[in-house]
Amino acid sequence: MTQQPEIKNDEPLYRLLREGHIKEFNSQRAAGINGDLTNSDFRSIDLRGINADNIDFSGCYFRQADLRGIDFTYTNLNGASIHGAKISGAYLPENFSADEITMSLLHGTRLRHNN
């Protein structure tokens, strides 16, 4: 059973993203601070400018989020949904097919790795 995405008010890095503090988020991550961002609700949040390298966004909900220009190449997006998100210029991991991405973008299905 898939865990429902949640708003994690007790997670400092998550709060930074929800409040639009992208530079502070990137600074904290660069300083080695990590948190649990899995299964988080990022619905309608502007995430442009985040350094997504090595973040585990598995199970996250990005419905109508602004993901333009983000490099997710080294990001775990397995089980995430990008329904209606703005993804122009974003790099998605190679292990997702174009069909898988399209189904998630248009219908909200969860992204699954190609075997």
Q: What was the pLDDT predicted at 70?
A: 98
Question: Average pLDDT for consecutive 10-residue bins of the chain (115 residues)?
Answer: 81 96 98 95 98 96 98 96 97 94 96 81
**What was the pLDDT predicted at 5?**
87
Closest to 105 (Cα-Cα) out of 65, 78, 75: 65
Distance CA 107, CA 111 (A): 11
* pTM for this model (two decimals): 0.93
3-state secondary structure of 107: helix
Residue 2: what pLDDT?
61
Domain that holds residue 94: 1-115
Cα 89 to Cα 104: distance, rounded to the nearest angstrom: 17
Q: Number of structural domains, the chain?
A: 1
Tell the residue number behind the tokens 């790099």, with chain if given.
Answer: 91
Q: Which pLDDT does position 39 carry in this prediction?
A: 96
